[in-house]
Amino acid sequence: MADPLHAPAPAAGARVPLLDVQGLTKRFGGLVAAKDITFQIRAGEILGLIGPNGSGKSTVMQVIMGLHRPNAGAVRVVGVDVAGWPPHRIARQGVGIVFQHSRPLHRQTVLENIMLGLLPDKLLKLVANRHVREKARQIAERVGLGAVLNRKPSTLAFADLRRMELAKAIARDPQVVLVDEPFAGLTSGEVHAFAQLIADFRADGRAVLLVDHNVKSIASLADRVFAMYLGERIAEGTAEEVTRDRTVRRVYLGGGIDIVSRPTRPARNAPLLQVEDVSVLYGKAQALERVSIHVDQGECVAVVGLNGAGKTTLFNAISGLVPYSGRIGWDNSDLRGRSPAAIARGGVVQCPETRELFGEMSVRENLDLAGQHLTEAQAAEQLEWLYDLFPRLRDRERQTARTMSGGEQQMLAIARSLMMRPKLLILDEPTLGLAPVILEQISNALEQLRNTTSITVLLGEQNVTFALPHADRIYVMEHARIVWEGEPSAFAAEVAATYL
Amino acid sequence: MTDTIRALLTSRSVWIALVVLTVLSTLPWVASAYILGVLTIAYYFGVFAMSWDLLFGFANEVNFGPTFLIGSGAYAAGLLNAHGVPMWVCLIAGGAAALLGGVVLAVPALRLTGPYFGLTTLVAVLLLQQFIIIFASSTGGEIGLTMNDILSTEAITNYWYALGFMTVCGAVLFTLSRSPVGLILQASGQDRIGASALGFNVVKHKLAAFCISAVFSGLAGAMMVFYLGTASVGTVVDVSVGAQVIIAAVLGGRRTIVGAAIGSIFLILAGEALRPLGQLSTFVVSGVALLVILFFVDGLMGLLLRRREEP
């Protein structure tokens, strides 16, 4: 292969794998976050660990680092089983981690932040050895921070902060490097530079684990890819093999893509929601870049994109939960300056990906709470209608929300949003991690909403198969930007091939 | 080594501290015995507050019970002195008692996360206070304990003892905070996971900080009772004394060490200056402290340091 990032790994031969994960299982209460996960990484090899949100990939990484204690299984670092060790001992055994979010020491310079990684864990270290400073300088230069050594982290660009995290992680010369979402928040030019730095780790003979949402972002770098879903291994192989894998495609796209032609709508209605040139920064990471979308009265618009593309950020900007630049128009007014509560009362109701149910309250209490702004008669009527829409909720009226299944919780979350009588319902990833039978029920409820009410819907989905049949129009998001807009019927021909 | 020295010389905090110390050392020639007495107390408070800042500012643990450590030191020294033990032994014993009490408290408490560490330290103060009251026959209970020895009867001598003590403690704590272990401690406080992923035993470093804070607090508590000639719950144990230490440290500027001492001097002087207001003086001082904390979260030192160190 001509790709310089794909330089052949040094002959690993029959040496012990630097990282050997065997039968790793981690439960949080009743939830099995990782089940019987087994993989090895040899010296000079990069393994990509992928899976959508909630798949357990981050849990696996955290267990390797010792941030969680596994319920079963072994984690061998250069042959030594470190499962259950505290993180600082695992770090000293030879594991380094590059966190997704950097939390530098703000009063210290870049050089001092890197020096931290070089200090011994001793209490009587009142004076740093001369070589520590020199070594920190070398590492900084290696990752491209040579020009900003004496600056404070708060003055650095986002990419340089990430470089500093890389520098800290390799300061102790770890055999195994774990990298969480290596390219999140970076521009395409920076992505290339980072890929080169990570490729250098491979050339050094380290074992590298890249954790990311999807194959696409790490395909050019990873020697092998291990895909997870709902805590289990679903595929393993080269990036190409994993992308082609049927289970992987079903998880990300939801099976074969149906093209359902919707009844054609009458001439365009006035736009109800108008998002113009909206950008959002998380600290210094670009989470949304000049996004413009519009949703017309009575329309169902789907924004599809892989996890991390920026869908939730877009919805949070609309709901007033994150600061943004640009303009968001709503019903002939401007949403800027309004509090999230005022926006929700004004008719823009979001049903968030994380559901945000009041776990200790019953189904009925959760719904009553959302109906606080209605008169008693309105609330009773709305409740009756919702119970007809989701009969399961009527049966579970007295049950505590926390104890319900994921699917039931999702229904409750949608019902609670509808209880507020929205004009625009924003549904963020309603199908995340749900079984097919539940998916069908939610799908039916959405269909019923379309046919019997005038509620406008803005749907955010990774699962294209779920989104397509419901949508009048589709936007595709990638890397913080809208990259395609069109009718569902055009999706398969124009973008489906490059979506994963 | 040279790096550390250079870092100290270029630090604005050091220069501010030197200027303040120079001014304070001229006072015995100009100020009245009364003012010197007030400042003497303020200097011991300065050590309490600096010790507290090591925990709050660097280890990121809120110790709601600084007076548990101060009181342990003060009463250990006082009780031994009442049994005829020489003063210098009592002082050492005060530091040791606070260290012992601190370890007994911190070892289990540091395993807790979030606000529970702080709550544990608050409860510890109440326990100590009750202990002193219950064993009133030997501790003097609420009336207090009278010392056999005192540091000096001369206001000026006492002033020099306190100023010297504060300077030495401050220098030690400040150097420590700027050293490699101070760096590790800050990392442990600000990002527990990140620090342990770099191979640092976070609990070990926080425990060490707690021990250092305890020794200085206990020693200062013991020094103060030998200055006052009495040890009482109201001066070295009561929760309100602890609150004053905390306010002084936050007012002076978190994570600066030097600021904690300046905050203490300011707070105690302001309290005295407003004494004509009677009961209202405490109210006014607390109000000012609250405003500073709300609007200048980096405190007095934050205001002084802002311009140059944050480009």
Dump pLDDT digits (tens) for B28-48. 999 999 999 999 999 999 999
Distance of alpha carbon B235 from alpha carbon B241, whole angstroms? 7
Return the residue of B nearest to A177 by Cα: B197
Residue A324 has a pLDDT of: 93
Summarize pLDDT for A116-174 with one digit per residue, the tens: 999 988 888 777 777 898 999 999 999 999 889 999 898 888 888 999 999 999 998 99
Q: Does A97 touch chain B (CB under 8 A)?
A: yes
- Which region among A272-276, B2-6, B61-65 has the lowest average model confidence (pLDDT)? B2-6
Return the residue of B nearest to A95 by Cα: B197
Chain A: nearest CA to B82, how far in angstroms?
Answer: 36
CB pair distance less than 8 Å for B198 and A171? yes
Residue B257 has a pLDDT of: 93
Nearest to A88 among B181, B199, B311 (CB): B199
Q: Does A267 touch chain B (CB under 8 A)?
A: no
Distance of alpha carbon A99 from alpha carbon A93, whole angstroms? 18
Burial class (CB in 10 A: 0-12, 13-18, 19+), A123: middle
Count of CB atoms within 10 A of residue A478's CB? 18
Does the predicted interface ipTM exceed a cut of 0.90?
no
If you average pLDDT over every residue of chain A, what do you get?
A: 87
Closest CA to A317 of A308, A326, A309: A326
> A295, A424 in Cβ contact below 8 A?
yes
| E strand intervals along A109-223 | 176-180, 207-212
Chain B: nearest CA to A481, how far in angstroms?
Answer: 31
- The vertex-A269 CA angle with A264 and A272, nearest 5°, equals 125
Q: Does A155 touch chain B (CB under 8 A)?
A: yes
Q: For residue B176, list chain A residues with Cβ-Cβ distance below 8 A.
A: 126
Task: Return the amino acid letter for A357.
Answer: L
Mean per-residue pLDDT for A327-352?
91
Mutate to test the interface with A, among B53, B181, B186, B258 (most CBs of A within 10 A): B181
CB pair distance less than 8 Å for B181 and A126? yes
Summarize pLDDT for B188-233 with one digit per residue, the tens: 999 999 999 999 999 999 999 999 999 999 999 999 999 999 999 9
CB pair distance less than 8 Å for B181 and A122? yes
Summarize pLDDT for A456-485 with one digit per residue, the tens: 999 998 888 888 888 989 999 988 899 999
Nearest to A97 among B183, B191, B197 (CB): B197
CB pair distance less than 8 Å for A127 and B183? no
Residue B309 has a pLDDT of: 44
Return the residue of A nearest to B188 by Cα: A105
Q: Does residue A264 carry a pLDDT above 80? A: no
Burial class (CB in 10 A: 0-12, 13-18, 19+), A443: middle
Please state the length of chain A.
Answer: 500
Mutate to test the interface with A, among B111, B192, B200 (most CBs of A within 10 A): B200
CB pair distance less than 8 Å for A123 and B190? no
**Widest CA span in chain B:** 60
Pairing of the two strands A72-77 and A80-81: antiparallel
Chain B: nearest CA to A405, how far in angstroms?
Answer: 30
Mean per-residue pLDDT for A246-275?
69
Q: For residue A66, list chain B residues with Cβ-Cβ distance below 8 A.
A: 196
Nearest to A123 among B181, B186, B311 (CB): B181
Q: For residue B199, list chain A residues with Cβ-Cβ distance below 8 A.
A: 88, 91-92, 121, 172
| E strand intervals along chain B | 145-146, 230-231
CB pair distance less than 8 Å for B199 and A155? no
A196 is written with which tokens?
Answer: 């080169």
Return the residue of B nearest to A102 by Cα: B194
Q: For residue A152, list chain B residues with Cβ-Cβ distance below 8 A.
A: 310-311
Nearest to B199 among A92, A103, A115 (CB): A92
> B37, B228 in Cβ contact below 8 A?
no
Return the residue of A nearest to B193 by Cα: A67
Closest CA to B254 of B76, B49, B9, B101: B49
CB pair distance less than 8 Å for B181 and A96? no
A365 is written with which tokens?
Answer: 């209490």
Most confident listed range (A150-164, A350-364, A436-450, B69-83): B69-83
CB pair distance less than 8 Å for B187 and A116? yes
Count of CB atoms within 10 A of residue B20's CB? 14
Q: Does A150 touch chain B (CB under 8 A)?
A: no
Q: Is A156 left (phi over 0), alpha (psi -120 to 50) or beta?
A: beta
**Widest CA span in chain A:** 77
Return the residue of A nearest to B202 by Cα: A88
Distance of alpha carbon B1 from alpha carbon B15, whole angstroms? 20
Q: For residue B1, list chain A residues with Cβ-Cβ distance below 8 A.
A: 127
Mutate to test the interface with B, among A108, A116, A125, A155 (most CBs of B within 10 A): A116
Chain B: nearest CA to A176, how far in angstroms?
Answer: 12
> A285, A268 in Cβ contact below 8 A?
no
Task: Find all residues with CB under 8 Å of A111, minimum gap 6, and list them.
Answer: A133, A136, A137, A140, A149, A150
B133 is written with which tokens?
Answer: 């009251």
Mean per-residue pLDDT for B102-106?
91
Q: Does residue A227 carry a pLDDT above 90? A: yes
DSSP at A362:
B
Nearest to A91 among B179, B196, B309 (CB): B196
> A366, A356 in Cβ contact below 8 A?
no
A470 is written with which tokens?
Answer: 């419901």
Mean per-residue pLDDT for B64-80?
95
Residue B2 has a pLDDT of: 57
Residue A11 has a pLDDT of: 47
Q: Does B199 touch chain A (CB under 8 A)?
A: yes
Task: Find all residues with CB under 8 Å of B156, minimum gap 6, and list them.
Answer: B28, B33, B36
Q: For residue A119, list chain B residues with Cβ-Cβ distance below 8 A.
A: 180, 183-184, 200
Residue A181's pLDDT band, with cuts at 50, 70 and 90, is: confident
CB pair distance less than 8 Å for A96 and B186? no
CB pair distance less than 8 Å for A86 and B196? yes
Distance of alpha carbon B136 from alpha carbon B147, whole angstroms? 15
Residue B299 has a pLDDT of: 84
What end-to-end distance do the CA atoms of chain A give, in Å? 22
CB pair distance less than 8 Å for A87 and B193? yes
Task: Find all residues with CB under 8 Å of A260, minimum gap 6, and list them.
Answer: A468, A469, A488
> What is the Cα Rg of chain B in Å?
19
Residue B3 has a pLDDT of: 62
Mean per-residue pLDDT for A413-432?
91
Q: Does residue B311 carry a pLDDT above 70? A: no
Distance of alpha carbon A457 from alpha carbon A442, whole angstroms? 14
Summarize pLDDT for A79-90 with one digit per residue, the tens: 999 999 999 999
Residue A254 has a pLDDT of: 66
Chain B: nearest CA to A133, how far in angstroms?
Answer: 9
Q: Does residue A1 carry a pLDDT above 50? A: no
Q: How far is CA A90 from CA A67, A74, A84, B198, in A?
A: 10, 13, 9, 9
Q: Is B84 left (phi over 0), alpha (psi -120 to 50) or beta?
A: left
Summarize pLDDT for B123-176 with one digit per residue, the tens: 999 999 999 999 999 898 888 899 999 999 999 999 999 999 999 999 999 999
> A185, A286 in Cβ contact below 8 A?
yes
Task: Find all residues with CB under 8 Å of A288, minimum gap 6, and list them.
Answer: A278, A279, A280, A310, A313, A314, A317, A324, A480
Size of interface A-B (CB pairs under 8 A): 88
A390 is written with which tokens?
Answer: 């989701």
Q: Does residue A10 carry a pLDDT above 70? A: no
Residue B310 has a pLDDT of: 42
Mean per-residue pLDDT for A386-392?
91
CB pair distance less than 8 Å for A123 and B4? no
Bridge partners, A320 (sequence order): none
Pairwise pLDDT comparison (B287 vs A64), residue with the higher score: A64
Q: How far is CA A5 from CA A200, B43, B66, B67, in A?
A: 9, 62, 57, 60
Q: Does B194 touch chain A (CB under 8 A)?
A: yes
Distance of alpha carbon A130 from alpha carbon A140, whole angstroms? 16
Nearest to B179 among A87, A88, A126 (CB): A126
CB pair distance less than 8 Å for B197 and A152? no
Helix (H, G, I), strand (E, B), or coil: what is residue B129? helix
Mean per-residue pLDDT for A279-308?
88
Q: For residue B6, list chain A residues with Cβ-Cβ distance below 8 A.
A: none
Bridge partners, A276 (sequence order): A327
Q: Does A105 touch chain B (CB under 8 A)?
A: yes
Q: Does B205 touch chain A (CB under 8 A)?
A: yes
Q: Could you say which residues from 149 to 178 on chain B have a Cβ atom under 8 Å away from some Cβ of chain A? A: 175-176
